[in-house]
Structure formats: structure tokens, C-alpha cells
Amino acid sequence: METALLDKQQLMLSAQQSMQQHFQDEDYTDQQKLALTCRILFDHGHDAGLAGQITSRTHKGNTFITQRFGLGFDEITAANLLEVDQDLKPLNGEGMANPANRFHTWIYKEHPEVNCIIHTHPTHVAALSMLRVPLTISHMDTCALYEDCSFVGNWPGVPVGNEEGILISAALGENRAVLLSHHGQLVTGRTIEEACNLAILIERAARLQLLAMAAGQIQQIPHELAKEAHDWVSTDKRNKINFAYYARKALKNHSDCIKGE
């Protein structure tokens, strides 16, 4: 019972140290991680036909990998991803990127810390966006997005122009996520794992918000405790452990997605 004498901060630090000790990072390539992310998000309700884009910055810095336009999230593999430049021109293979990837290039340009961007139109996020209200975080499980999700109240139309890139990049600010009115969501990450986790989380947060709004008045949670929870679940190791779990689930049904790179 030695730990009975430790305070909360000491216990949290001890748990983080244990995570570092007991969990090794999975040995996936970025292409495999991106393909897995497509399948993970498909299974979590982010499928909306050909709408939505997932990109990851390459080690070159000025190019990124993304899906081939025309393929659904459930069809993406490590082998059929494209590498494109800032003008969306493919550098390997045939095909084209989604034209809406243009606003991704602006985010990468203005936010050098961002290495992965996920933009999708999942059902509950889309429904919340129709109400033109910001995302409300009032539950422990969604605190990774507490004070970390911007809001764009005015829909700029189809996001294939540079104007949308400038708008969304500015709206993101120092946050990792944006709720886009009449549109969907966008999350960013320093890693693919981080972005994938946030994409899953923002859809769950929107669903919880809609359920709570239908039942009554949402009650705020204490600021300091919410910030503590935000930081607790936002570490790189925690993101990688979460992603590894989602990847294992996805591979049970989509084992083909990491083959043939």
C-alpha cells in the first residue's frame, strides 16, 4: 500500500512512466497508418461517400500522402495512396487527389507543427453543424477537445478554393480541431495517431452534445479539472496506445489495407 501515500499528481506521473515502460510503438509505415486510419474512421461512421480527406505530411515537408479521389475510405490501402505536391499533382502512380485537399495545403503551410489532417462529415458532427453552435465539452471522455476546438460559423461554400484554405487555417489558430458550420469537422495532429484519435472523439462529442441538448441544459465542468483531463489523455504515448487498439480492431475486418505497399 505504498501508493496510498502518494498524491494525485504523483500517481499520474507514475502511470505515465509505466505506459512508457510497458507499451512499445507499433511498427507501421506512415502509408499503413493512413490506410488504417481510413478503415478505422469508416468503421466509426465517418463514411460519406467520396466526401472527406485524410492527409499526412511526408518527410520532405512540402508533399503529403492522401487517398486517391474516387475511392471510399473502405477501399484505401497502403498501396493505392498518392503522394502529391502543394498543387495536388501526384508524384507517384496515376489518379488524382480530392480537389478539396487544397485547404490542407494552407494548413500545412501556416501550421508547421501539423503533420496529419483529417476532414470528414460524420453524421452527428454534420447534424450539430446544421445548428451553427460550437462544440461543447462537458464529459470526461471528450476532454481532449476541451478548449481545443475552434468554430467557423459561416459556411464558405465548396472548399476547393484558396479562400477556404486561408479561412480554415486562420480559424484553427492554436487549436487542434475545428467545427465547420453546415459542413463537418477538421482535426489535426503532430502524428497520424493523434489525428485519428481526435477524429473519433469529435464525432462522439457531437453525438453526446446532441443527446444532452435534447434532454436538458448542458452543465459546464470545472475548468481546471477539464484542463487536467485534456492534458492527461493528450500525450503522444496515450495517442499511440489508443491507435494501436483501433488498428487491431480494424485489421480483424480489413487485413488487406496494410498489404502491398
pLDDT band per the 50, 70, 90 thresholds, residue 12: confident
Show me where the domains of the chain are located. Answer: 31-252
Average pLDDT, the chain: 93
The pLDDT assigned to 100 comes to: 87
The pLDDT assigned to 11 comes to: 79
Asked if residues 181 and 152 have their Cβ atoms less than 8 Å apart, the reply is yes
pLDDT (tens digit, 9 = 90+) per residue, 212-250? 999 999 999 999 999 999 999 999 999 999 999 999 999
Confidence (pTM): 0.94
Mean pLDDT over 124-139 rounds to 97
pLDDT (tens digit, 9 = 90+) per residue, 173-209? 999 999 999 999 999 999 999 999 999 999 999 999 9
Q: Where are the alpha helices (DSSP H) in 23-157?
A: 30-43, 102-110, 123-131
When computed from its CA atoms, the radius of gyration of the chain, rounded to whole angstroms, is: 19
The pLDDT assigned to 225 comes to: 97
Task: Express as a percent the part of the chain with pLDDT over 70.
Answer: 97
What does the DSSP assignment read for 151-217? EE-S--SSS-SHHHHHHHHHHHTT-SEEEETTTEEEEEESSHHHHHHHHHHHHHHHHHHHHHHHHSP
pLDDT (tens digit, 9 = 90+) per residue, 52-77? 999 999 999 899 999 999 999 999 99
Pick the CATH number of 31-252 from 3.40.225.10, 3.20.20.150, 3.30.450.30, 2.40.33.10: 3.40.225.10
pLDDT band per the 50, 70, 90 thresholds, residue 27: confident
Q: Helix or strand or coil: residue 129?
A: helix
How far out from the chain centre does Cα 157 lie? 22
pLDDT band per the 50, 70, 90 thresholds, residue 33: very high
CB atoms within 10 A of CB 158: 10
